[in-house]
Amino acid sequence: METISYSRFNEDILRNMSPPGRRYYVLLALAFAGVLLGASCWAYQIATGLGSAGINLPVYWGTYLINFVFWVGIAHSGTLISAILYLFRAPWRTAIARSAEAMTVFAVSVAGLFPFIHLGRVWIVYWILPYPNQRNLWPNFQSPLVFDVIAISTYLTVSVLFWFTGLIPDLAVVRDSSTGLRRKIYGFFSLGWLGTHRQWNHYGTAYLLFAALATPLVISVHSVVSWDFALSIVPGWHSTIFAPYFVAGAIHSGLAMVLTLLIPLRRVFKFEHLITLKILENIAKTIIFTGLIVGYAYGVEYFMAQYSGNIAERDTFIWRAVGHYALEFWIMVLFNAVVPLAFFIKKVRTDLRYLFGISILINIGMWYERFVIIVGSAAHQFDPYSWGYYSPTWVEFGIMIGSFSLFFFLFLLFARFIPTISMTEMKETGRHSRRENP
C-alpha cells in the first residue's frame, strides 16, 4: 500500500458519502423495483394460497427453503473475514471487513423472511411461538426447526452488535465533518464518542469480545441448518457429513459474494489503493481452499452412499447424477469444485474480470447445490410410487428476484450513508507519512 496520511484516509473513505450521480439512483431504482416485484408476488400468494407456488406432493420444500439456506450461507463469510481473521490478526481483512459485516447483516435479514413466506398463512406464526395459550400448543424444542430460530436470531443479534461496535469511531468522524440535521443524526449513533483513552480501551475490549463470540457462531449456525436435513431419514439427507459440508459450502459462497460486491465497489468509489489487488487475491486463495473441501464432500457423499449398501441411498445419488435434475447437479459440481481451481493460476486470480466472473459462477453453483440437496432427495424418496418432479412457478421466481433485489438495495443504501471501509482499522494497519503521525 502506498504511503497515506491519516487525513487522506478520512477524505478517501468519506468521499463515497457525498451526493451520488445518476447511475447510483438508476441502480437503486432497479433494486427497489425488484423489491416491489417480490412483495407483489408474495401478496398474490397470500391472497390465492400456497398452491400458487410449485410446492406440492412429494416436494414440500421448494425454492423458499433453497433461498433460506443460500442466504444463511452468504452471511457466513462476513463473520469469517471480520471476526476470525481479526482474531488471527490478518492485516488484509481491514479494507473489506466493513462491507463483509454489512453483507452478513443484510443476508441474514433476507434469509429470515423465507420461513415466513414458506409458512403460507403468515398471520398464524404466533402459534409456533413459546407462550401459554388456551390450545396448549407449545413448540417442540427438540426440533431442528426451532434450533434454526434460536441460532439465526442469535447470529443476527451478535452480527449487528459486532458491526455497530466497529462503526462507532467512524460515525464520530462523519459527525465532526457534518453540519445541521446530518450532524445530529450521526452524533446520536456515535453515542457521544470523543476518542478518549478510556473509550478506546473499552472499544478494543468490546470489539474483541464480539469477535470471540461470533467465531463459534460461524460453525454452529449452519450446522444447525444442516440438521434440518440430517436428522431426518430421507435418502441423501441422513448423513453425519452434513454439518462440516454445509459450513464449508456457506463460507465458499460467502467469499464469492464478497468478490462480487467489492470489485464493483472499488471501481465506483476509486478505492483501488485501499482494496488492493493483493487483498482480492487472498480471497481467491481462500476460495481455492473452501472449493477443495466442497469437492471432497461431494466425493465422500457418493462413496458413503455406495459403501453403505443402502439401496435407497445409492439409488438417490445415482438419480441425482443421471436423472431429471442431472443438469443442475453437474452445474453444481462444475461451478463449485472445478471452476475455482482456476485460481491456482496467478494470472487468473489477479485479473479482475476472471475474479468477478468466477465469483458469479460459484454463487450460481452454490444455489444449485441447495436445489440438488433439497429437491433431489424430496422428489426421490423410498417409495417409487410417490416419486415426482418439482418446478418453481413464476410466483417463486418473482419472490427470489425480490430477495436478491432487497439485498442489493440495502447494500446500496449502506454504501451511500455509512463508511464502507473502516477508517479506524485502516489507520492502525496502513503506512502513513511521518509528518502526520502523532
What's the average pLDDT block by block, 10 residues per block, for the chain (438 residues)?
57 75 88 96 92 85 91 83 82 84 91 89 78 72 79 87 90 87 90 90 90 84 87 88 90 90 84 85 92 94 89 91 92 95 93 94 94 90 85 93 95 88 74 40
Domain count, the chain: 1
Q: Using an 8 Å Cβ cutoff, are 233 and 67 in contact? A: no
* Pairwise CA distance, residues 235 & 404, whole Å: 31
Give domain status of residue 307, yes or no: yes
DSSP secondary structure, 59-111, as one string: B---HHHHHHHHHHHHTHHHHIIIIIHHHTT-GGGTTTHHHHHHHHHHHHHHH
Burial class (CB in 10 A: 0-12, 13-18, 19+), 296: middle
* Pairwise CA distance, residues 222 & 220, whole Å: 6
Q: Using an 8 Å Cβ cutoff, are 107 and 72 in contact? A: yes
Task: List all residues 6 or more positions away from 313 whose beta carbon is below 8 Å from its beta carbon.
Answer: 235, 236, 238, 304, 305
| pLDDT for position 399 | 95
Give domain status of residue 175, yes or no: yes
Give domain status of residue 264, yes or no: yes
Give domain status of residue 32, yes or no: yes
Full domain range(s) for residue 333? 6-129+152-436
Nearest to 346 by CA among 394, 392, 410, 280: 280
Give domain status of residue 137, yes or no: no
| pLDDT for position 7 | 61
Give domain status of residue 79, yes or no: yes
For residue 132, the 8-state DSSP code is -
Give domain status of residue 146, yes or no: no
Give domain status of residue 243, yes or no: yes
Question: Which segments of 177-276 does DSSP mark as H helices, in order?
Answer: 180-189, 197-230, 242-268
Beta bridge partners of 59: 56
